[in-house]
Structure 1
C-alpha cells in the first residue's frame, strides 16, 4: 500500500508541473507522428491516418499554448547561470537558455499565425525558430561532452594518485607488501559512464532531438517516422528526469 501511495503521490506531483504535462503531451504528439507515418506506409485506412495526423497537429498547437511565457523563465535562468564558476559550463548553459528563450518566442509568433490572431510569414518564423532550436541543442551537447570529459579526467587523476600508493601491508609479521590491482583506462571510462547516468541520459536526449531541427531546416532527409521515433525517445527521457529529479543533470 505504501508503494501505491508513493506512486500516486509522485503522479500527482508530476501532473501538477507544467513541464510534466508538456512532456506527456510531447510524447503523445511524436507517438502520433510515428503512428500516422507507419499506417500511411502500410496503406492502412486513410481515415485512421487522418485522425493521428489531427492529434499530432492539435498537440503541437496545444504545447505552444502551454509554453506561453516560458521565454521569460529561460531568460531568468540565464541570469542565474552566468554565476557558474566553470567557464565552459557558464557559457554553454547561459547561451543555451538565451537561444531557447528566442526559439520559444518565435514559436509563440508561429502559434499566433496558426490560429489567426496575426498574419505572419509562417515559413520564415519556422525556419528562424528551428535555427535557434538547433543552436540550443548543439550547446547542450557541448555541455554534455565537456561534463563527461571532466568526470573521466578527474577519475583518471584519482586512479593515478592511488597507483602511486598501490601497496599495502598484508598483515604478516615481516611487513611484506602486496600490489593493488589498478584499473586500466578503459575500465575507468566505462565506470564513469555507469556512474554518470544524468549526463548519459541528457546526451541521448539531445542527440535524439538533434534530428528534429535538422529535418525542419532540410539539412537531413528524415522521414516523419524517424522524427516521431526520435521525439518519443527524447520525450521518455524528459519524463523520466522530471519524475525522478535525481536523474536530472545539474547544473543545466
Structure 2
C-alpha cells in the first residue's frame, strides 16, 4: 500500500519546490509633465507610486558590468540597483523618487543637489541635466555618497530612456556623473559663477559602513514635447574645473 502512494507524494513535493513566483511588474515609466524647480509632476508621481504586487524581502543588489541584464551581486542595502530582467529599472526609480519626495518634504531644498551626466565622447563641453538627488541630514550620507549609491541607476536611465542620442550607445562607455547646487538649473543655464559642477569620484566600495541607500533619493528628469527629440536642459562647462566657459547672461538675452 505505501509503495503505491510514493509516486504521488514525489510529484506533489516536486511541484511545491518548482512553483514560479508571479511577476506582473510592467515597464511603463515615462509620462508627460512640465519641469519645475519647486514642484514635481503629480501625474508622474502617481505612476511611480502605483501599487505593486507584494514580494519577498531580498537584499539589495547591484549590477556588475553594464546594462539592465547584468549579473547581480549583494551590496547590503547600500546601492539602489538595476539588475536582471526587463523592466528592472522601474522599481528602483519609483523607490528613489518616493524617497526624494519624502526627504525634500521634511528638509527642504537645502538637502538637494542637481545631477548632470557627461560623455566626452559625445561633446567635450556639454553636460546634460538628468535630475536631482536628496540627502537626509544627520546620517552618514553625503552628496558624493548619495550619487555613488545611485550612479548605475542614473546612468542606465540617462542613456536608455532620457537621452540615448547623446549618452547611449558608443557614448555610454565614458559616462561621468557631476553635481551642482540644488535647484540651480536656471542659474546654471545663465552661467552664473556659483553653479560650478563637481565630479562624482570613486566606486560603491567607497560607501561608508553605516551608509544606507534609504537615506538618499533620486528624482529623474523627464522630457516633454520637443525635448524628447531635441533634448532638454544642458549646459557648457570646463570638464577640468566644472566652471562655466561662457560669460553670464540674463534670461531675456539670447544664449
Q: What TM-score bracket applies, with the shorter chain setting the length?
A: under 0.3
The structure with the larger Rg is 1
TM-score (norm 1): 0.27
Going by fraction, where is helix more abundant, 1 or 2? 1
